[in-house]
Amino acid sequence: MADSNFRGPISNMGSLEVQAGTAANIEPLDGPMISYQDMVVPDIRSVPFAKDGTAPARVPSFASGLNLWGCDNIPQASATNVIATAAVATNAVAVALATVGIAGVASACSIAVGVPIIPVGTTVATTAALAIDFGFTTGTTIANSSTVTVIDNTLFKLGQWIIVGNVGNSAATKSLVTQIQSTSGTTTIFVSPVAATALSNVPIGQANLFGSSLLPLATQFGPAAASANAHSFGGAFEAGLARVMNPRETLSRNIIMALATSGTYSALVSGWDVWGNPMTEVISLSSQTTGAGKRAFKYIGSIVSGTSSTDPASFGLGDTFGFPFRSDEWDQVEVTWNKSSMTNANGYTSAFIGAATSTSGDVRGTVQISTTVVTGVLATAISAIASNGTSRLAFQQNVGVWNQMFGTPNNTVPMFGVAQFTGST
């Protein structure tokens, strides 16, 4: 198929067009223009425009650059025991993970238990034991009620499918997949199915069915034509034809473990990254009380002890956060933590390049905001302020020209990094 060239300019007027009367017509598919491999600006010196021919690279151009919001939310406080409380560890035996959801902090992300996901390479939903730093906002539920009190209900739309963390059953051991039926005032939404238990400030994330505004609501016309069944990777929201990643749902971070006294211990952490790729990592301690993983997990499936330890071991969340896109240079990121900008490369680690192993770095790179929780393991960080459930982490990634131009459906490595390691050693 030949390329099409035309004089332009392009005017994407969307809902600014008035089709009848004087009111704007808002259509479900109104949205931004989608442009493969970003946009390029032609060199104004290249006259005449080389529109005829078959050879590539005929038009001198400059890449406008992908300056993408990678993350923008409040991480939950780091701690050594929120994934698994201290317990004696036995070699090759699974660690008992947290199974009961708890109340969170208003507006801050938190752990959600029993979250359904559809991992890359599969078609059937599986349940992640834990989703880390889950949600784009928070809400407070009432047991067996459709009412959910939220911070700002303009973040939701009629018919939207969401996942409300930790309220899927009365035991608070699973999350709820539900649909927005209506809203009231500025802080109330009504959902169906209803929450099974009452919890305050639970995380709310995006489910994986879009275009629900074009489907009948279950309470009005019987069962909807389709229902969501899993979390949407990267959150995402509808923007016309586009499904746009939501930087409020892209927090992912490293796993830490701790012993009561200095010792030697290892464990295999299995889960998935922010895009749903399966991943595993071996974290080890050698004459230490705390140790930290290097990779950013979004979902945890299991943790299995690699050695035995009579000294109880616990597992929690560190302060190393992952990039959703491959980051090759510190100069290509703009990071703000606790209202201060990152002024040097302290705490930055570029994407691991090569065949990933059980102990290699993150395939897209990471930034460490604090060494407070785990000292002496990852020595540099942005600041001394640990994640606390109130401070915001935000970063933009200036994706390199090579990355955006060489990333293709057959080679996603330039944009999303090498394949995650999924072995055991």
pLDDT at 379: 63
Residue 221 has pLDDT above 60, yes or no: no
What percent of the chain stands above pLDDT 70? 95
Residue 1 has pLDDT above 90, yes or no: no
Residue 283 has pLDDT above 60, yes or no: yes
DSSP state of 265: E
> 239 and 32 in contact (C-beta within 8 Å)?
yes
Question: Is there a cis peptide before residue 116, judged by omega within 30 degrees of 0?
Answer: no
pLDDT at 377: 61
Greater pLDDT, 231 or 226: 231
Q: What distances in angstroms separate CA 231 from CA 276, 394, 422, one per listed residue?
A: 10, 22, 22
Please state the rounded mean pLDDT for residues 289-300: 94
Average pLDDT, the chain: 91
Residue 219 has pLDDT above 80, yes or no: no
pLDDT at 87: 93
Greater pLDDT, 75 or 13: 75
Residue 224 has pLDDT above 60, yes or no: no
Please state the rounded mean pLDDT for residues 2-19: 81
For the chain, what percentages of helix, strand and coil (3-state, to nearest 5) are there? 5, 40, 55
Instruction: Give the span between the Cα atoms of 131 and 423, in whole angstroms.
Output: 21
User: Minimum mean pLDDT among 3-12, 356-365, 370-379: which range?
Assistant: 370-379
Q: Where are the alpha helices (DSSP H) in 108-186?
A: none
Its pTM stands at: 0.92
Greater pLDDT, 6 or 103: 103
Please state the rounded mean pLDDT for residues 63-73: 89
